Structure 1
Amino acid sequence: MKIIGKTALEISDHIRALVQSGDLQPGSPLPPVRELADELGVNRNTVAAAYQRLAKGGIAITQGRLGTAICEPPRAGEQEGLSTGTKLIDLADGNPDPRRLPDPMKLLAANVPRPYLYGDDTMLPELQQIGREWVLSDCPPGGELELTHGAVDAIERLAAAHLVPGDKVAVEDPCFLGTINALRLAGMQAIGVDIDDAGMRPEALQAALDKGARAVLVTPRAHNPTGCSLSKRRADALKRVLAAHPNVLVVVDDHFWLQAETPYHSIIPATTMRWALVRSVSKGLGPDMRVAFVGCDTASAERLRSRLAPGMTWVSHILQAIVATALTSKAVRKDIDGAREAYAGYRDEFCRALHVEGIDAPPASGGLNVWVPLPCDEKDVAYELAKKGWLVRPSGAFDVQGQSRALRITVSKLQPEQAQRFARDLKACLI
């Protein structure tokens, strides 16, 4: 296999073609810069520039003295959602209870939008008002408002706006599946930050910043997978850590805000130059409502706006109309409040059932899930539970650098008698 080319573009394009044809496989080393330059009769800087192009494009990875090699293509890991083709009781899907979601057709019928065209405002006035009252009010002064297609879309766009492939991003460890996948596919390097019942630990965040993290992503309430929420004391401690790093991008993913059981405590210090507060409607109105409010600094808003401009990917005004109607409806708000109480009841009932069997689970202050630590390998336990009719999510899918041994159980549809039976089955798997 011969590499050809006289310019950096020609060399990198030829190597890229060899990768696409399968002649170069992931892990294949590329010739040392000096060796390939001599072979092609070009300057070493030309080959070095070609390799840099390949690294920037996610095709190769530079490894210092170990040289440059073809890297694995980015792949999405495990996904949230229903598992088709199984007769098991699904406690792994991470979904809200569909019975507690509003009917989108009824909401749309109550507020049918006019046809919108290229050049129209990208955000409905009703949502602008809601965003100012419910999002910007919790942001630092001078914030601006944008919409994205859900929280993960916001995270991806903010990362693309401010970071480059290879940058380090501090995230909770364990971490939400969507966040892990979004950062992986963007070529970012996630640094796991240990958490406890009160959220991300300040000393662990400082350690991640010392390692060169250029961004921090925090879930303030109903953390997925563990269900923990930031206390005011913890939020203030994190804010003090971040205050010394004004150039670090701070993204707060308050995904469960519509049904949150604890107050919101900001971690964004006044010194931070680039920040965003993201609030999605998916847990309260349904995952198919691909709308998230993003309150952010002016520079971030301008960069988001350039990607959400008319003719590209603005959020559908039809979706906006449905969301606006839902969030201003007293009946829907009552249903959302009812769902919050129901989910809290399901979590409490499940934890009581575990306690009866002598199984401890850390208290969750919000969300749809319960995190159950295990004394043994979680995959083995998940396999045994599957034989008893239960589909669960092992903790390995959420690990960043740590190696937790736990199960994440989605309890949003779990009835009391099911909770009791599951607890007995889990106990039997641990004996």
Structure 2
Amino acid sequence: MSTTLTARQLAALIHQPSIKGITLAVSQLIRESKLAAGTQLPAVRELAEALGVSPATVSAAWQHLRRQSVLAGKGRSGVWVCANIVSARPVRFEKIGNYGKGIIADLTMASPDPQLLPDLEQALRMAVRVPELNSYRREPITPSLRAAIIPDWPVESEAFLATDGGFDAMYLALRSLISPGERVMIENPTATRLLDMLDYIGAEALPVPCDQEGPLPDAVAALLQQAPRAFIYQPRTHSASGHTVSRERSDSLSKVLADSKVLIIEDDGIGELSAHPVWSLGRYYPRRTVHVRSYSKAYGPDLRLAVVSGPLDLIEQLQSLRNFGASWTSRLLQEAVAWMIQDEGTRQSIQWARRIYAERRRALLSALAQRGLSLPDRDGLSLYVPVRSEQFAMITLAAHGIAAVPGERCSTGGEQFIRISTCRLDPKQVDHVADALMLACDLDTPMNGGDRAPDI
């Protein structure tokens, strides 16, 4: 089939002119390679006229296919086929790490070093003692895990739910509580997969710029004029920039949100590896705050455990969505984490890991400072590095065998930057990485990162 398709040609291939019918017909044509990647589709109004339906019907069908990442474009530029695989997938996330051969330092994933994780053997031995092991009873959270987390939980909550990791919890929250077309305020930058989730749901992301203390209250106040459904942010140790929401900033945000009904979703992805406390907005608004804490980075990714808290009615909505699948998180894993949270040896192991991660991050910061690039020492498992051009930076790093994450993967636009994971950086590679980063930044004069993250 040609790369340009007329409205009459496409209409002849669609036998049920409804949203579902158009979506299924075009999906099948793409799967069967009858619509190849690059094929330009007719204008919405032209196809609607040929099918005898409203333009809104065609637009809705195109929106479904955009979520499956097989159609691209909109407005006057038109719509075209951009892929030949019809399936929902996290496009931004899947592009991370596809750098081919020749990479000697993969600094893309800010994931824990297995050598720094607590030993799971005794925890798993203790876990088999969980009551009702292998029961099919749908239990939101085991009593042991709930008792273990409450002393350190940042907000008094009515209900708790254990999930299969932090992103599973965020996916449940967004799928359950956000509807297609609703606007959502979210930090910029943010976690890559959160943007993928919003795209999949069909929500509109409203980017909130941040500084070293977190989301800017004035920006949130301005965006409230657009009637957003929710506000998503990371309350401590941001995954991209390393900033942490201070108590003062949390107080300021609470005042801005006072007269709204905005749902607040807090994503504490780094958990106990953070060097900072959590100042949850749930202290002010417990009836509309959902707090997520992941235990994967501190205790072990294969434990796949996070806990969500919030008002009972919201947590029940998340549980209802889970009932389409497994319905509950493994009691063995919950019991293992519950034991580890209360184990002194595990606490010391996490504290030691936190120190090692800080040393690795600071080693690269020091090497960059010696070369004339001063960046703020914040927290976390990665560095936020401003650059003149992400494309130039990525090509330059790849030429030196280094893989990083371009800012576009975790941003909705704004300043150019890259994210460098430091959590597994080999000390022998620090100088090589620092030299390559200086070239990647393409700076004419030394750059001072200061105490403020760029507003994006």
User: TM-score normalised by the shorter chain: which range applies?
Assistant: 0.7 to 0.9
Q: Report the residue type matching 2:185 in the other structure.
A: A
Per the TM alignment, residue 228 of structure 1 is displaced from its structure 2 partner at its CA by 0.4
Per the TM alignment, residue 275 of structure 1 is displaced from its structure 2 partner at its CA by 1.8
Q: Report the residue type matching 2:110 in the other structure.
A: G
- 1:319-330, aligned counterparts within 5 Å? 319-330=333-344
Per the TM alignment, residue 13 of structure 1 is displaced from its structure 2 partner at its CA by 2.0
Per the TM alignment, residue 102 of structure 1 is displaced from its structure 2 partner at its CA by 2.3
Distance 1:163 1:26, change over 3 A: farther
Q: In 2, Cα distance between the equivalents of 1:318 and 1:243?
A: 41
Check conservation: 2:22, 2:61, Cα contact below 8 A. no
Check conservation: 2:265, 2:291, Cα contact below 8 A. yes
Per the TM alignment, residue 111 of structure 1 is displaced from its structure 2 partner at its CA by 2.6
Structure 2 equivalent of residue 130 of structure 1: 148
Structure 2 equivalent of residue 303 of structure 1: 317
1:401 paired residue among 413, 423, 431: 413
Check conservation: 1:154, 1:294, Cα contact below 8 A. yes
1:265 paired residue among 260, 279, 283: 279
**Per-residue CA shift, 1:29-54, capped at 9, x if unaligned?**
345698457x5xxxx7xx57855864
Structure 2 equivalent of residue 202 of structure 1: 217
Distance 1:190 1:321, change over 3 A: same
Q: Report the residue type matching 2:198 in the other structure.
A: L
- 1:147-162, aligned counterparts within 5 Å? 147-162=162-177
Distance 1:35 1:389, change over 3 A: closer
Per the TM alignment, residue 186 of structure 1 is displaced from its structure 2 partner at its CA by 2.0
Moved more, 259-268 or 227-236: 259-268
TM-score by length of 2: 0.80
**Per-residue CA shift, 1:130-183, capped at 9, x if unaligned?**
233333xx22x5521111222222222112222211222111111111211222
2:293 paired residue among 279, 293, 301: 279
1:371 paired residue among 377, 384, 398: 384
Q: Report the residue type matching 2:381 in the other structure.
A: L
2:232 is paired with a residue of what secondary structure?
Answer: strand
1:427 paired residue among 427, 430, 438: 438
1:243 is paired with a residue of what secondary structure?
Answer: coil
Paired positions, count: 415
TM-score by length of 1: 0.84
Structure 2 equivalent of residue 171 of structure 1: 186
Q: Report the residue type matching 1:190 in the other structure.
A: A
Q: In 2, Cα distance between the equivalents of 1:262 and 1:354?
A: 25
Structure 2 equivalent of residue 18 of structure 1: 26
Q: In 1, Cα distance between the equivalents of 2:357 and 2:99?
A: 21
1:228 aligns with 2:246: no
2:187 is paired with a residue of what secondary structure?
Answer: strand
Structure 1 equivalent of residue 393 of structure 2: 381
| Residue ranges of structure 1 left out of the alignment (5+ in a row) | none
Q: Report the residue type matching 1:235 in the other structure.
A: S
Structure 2 equivalent of residue 91 of structure 1: 107
1:414 is paired with a residue of what secondary structure?
Answer: coil
2:269 paired residue among 246, 252, 255: 255
Check conservation: 1:151, 1:279, Cα contact below 8 A. yes
1:245 is paired with a residue of what secondary structure?
Answer: coil
Distance 1:168 1:355, change over 3 A: same
**Per-residue CA shift, 1:359-403, capped at 9, x if unaligned?**
121331x210111222x213212322222232222222222132x
| Residue ranges of structure 2 left out of the alignment (5+ in a row) | 1-8, 444-456
Structure 1 equivalent of residue 126 of structure 2: 110
Structure 1 equivalent of residue 6 of structure 2: none
Aligned residues with identical type, % of pairs: 26
Moved more, 11-20 or 125-134: 11-20
Check conservation: 1:215, 1:249, Cα contact below 8 A. yes
Per the TM alignment, residue 214 of structure 1 is displaced from its structure 2 partner at its CA by 1.3
Per the TM alignment, residue 240 of structure 1 is displaced from its structure 2 partner at its CA by 1.1
Check conservation: 1:243, 1:272, Cα contact below 8 A. no
- 1:41-80, aligned counterparts within 5 Å? 54=61, 57=64, 75=89, 76-79=91-94
Check conservation: 2:245, 2:279, Cα contact below 8 A. yes
Per the TM alignment, residue 65 of structure 1 is displaced from its structure 2 partner at its CA by 9.4
Q: Report the residue type matching 1:88 in the other structure.
A: I
Structure 2 equivalent of residue 143 of structure 1: 158
2:127 is paired with a residue of what secondary structure?
Answer: coil
Q: In 2, Cα distance between the equivalents of 1:301 and 1:371?
A: 34
Q: In 2, Cα distance between the equivalents of 1:270 and 1:88?
A: 48
Distance 1:142 1:293, change over 3 A: closer
Structure 1 equivalent of residue 404 of structure 2: 392
Per the TM alignment, residue 126 of structure 1 is displaced from its structure 2 partner at its CA by 0.9
Q: In 1, Cα distance between the equivalents of 2:324 and 2:129?
A: 17
Give the superposed CA RMSD: 3.3
